[in-house]
A and B are shown apart, each in its own frame.
Chain A
Amino acid sequence: MNLLITLTLLSTVAMSGFRRLKLMTGTFMIQSLSIAFICFFLGYETNEAHYYALGMLTILIKAIVIPIIMNKSINKLKTAREMNMIINGYWSYIFSSIFVVIALMLLKNFRQDLIKTGLVLILFGTFILITRKKAINQMIGFLTVENGIVLIELSTVQMNLAIEFGIF
Chain B
Amino acid sequence: MLDYVLIVLQSLFLLIITPLFVGILKRMKAFIRGYQGAKITQPYYDIKRLFNKGMVVSNSSSFVSIFGPSICLAFSIVISLLVPVFYTNNIINFGNVFLVIFMLAVIKIITTLIGLDCASTFGGMGSSRESFISLFAEPVMLLTLSVLYFESNNFNVFKISYAISNTDITVAHILALASFFILVLAENARMPVDNPETHLELTMVHEAMILDISGRNLAFIELASSIKFIVFATLLINLFLPFGIATSISIYSIFISIVIYILKMIVVLFVIAIIRTSIAKFRLFKVPELLASAFSLSIISIAMLYFNL
Contacts and interface: CB of A to CB of B under 8 A. Distances in A.
Interface of A: 2-3, 5-6, 9-10, 13-14, 16-17, 89-91, 93-94, 96-98, 100-101, 104-105, 107-108, 113, 116-117
Given A101-B303, A104-B304, A104-B309, A96 B170 contact: no
Determine the main DSSP class of B at the interface with A.
helix
Contacts of B288: 90
Given A93-B296, A105-B307, A116-B309, A9 B171 contact: yes
- Give the top 6 A-B pairs by smallest Cβ distance, nearest first: A97-B296, A97-B299, A93-B292, A104-B307, A6-B174, A93-B296
Contacts of A94: 292, 295-296
A111 to B, nearest CB: 9
A16 B300 CA distance: 14
Contacts of B292: 17, 89-91, 93-94
Interface of B: 169-171, 174-175, 178, 286, 288-289, 292-293, 295-297, 299-300, 303-304, 306-307, 309
B293 A5 contact: no
Nearest to B302: A101
Given A104-B303, A108-B307, A2 B170 contact: yes
9 contacts: A2-B170, A10-B297, A17-B292, A17-B293, A90-B288, A91-B292, A94-B295, A98-B299, A104-B304
B289 A9 contact: no
Given A2-B170, A6-B171, A17-B289, 10 more contacts: A2-B171, A6-B175, A10-B175, A93-B289, A94-B292, A97-B297, A104-B307, A113-B171, A113-B309, A117-B309
Nearest to A102: B303
Contacts of A93: 289, 292-293, 295-296
Contacts, number: 67
B304 to A, nearest CB: 7
B117 to A, nearest CB: 33
Contacts of A100: 296, 299-300, 303
B161 to A, nearest CB: 20
B300 A97 contact: yes
B216 to A, nearest CB: 42
A113 B171 CA distance: 10
A14 B297 CA distance: 9
B4 to A, nearest CB: 36
Contacts of B289: 17, 89-90, 93
Contacts of A5: 171
A100 B169 CA distance: 20
Contacts of A89: 286, 289, 292
Contacts of A116: 309
Given A2-B169, A5-B171, A113-B171, A13 B300 contact: yes
A104 B288 CA distance: 26
Contacts of B296: 13, 16, 93-94, 96-97, 100
Contacts of B304: 104
A113 B307 CA distance: 11
Nearest to B168: A2
A13 to B, nearest CB: 6
A90 B169 CA distance: 29
B300 A9 contact: yes
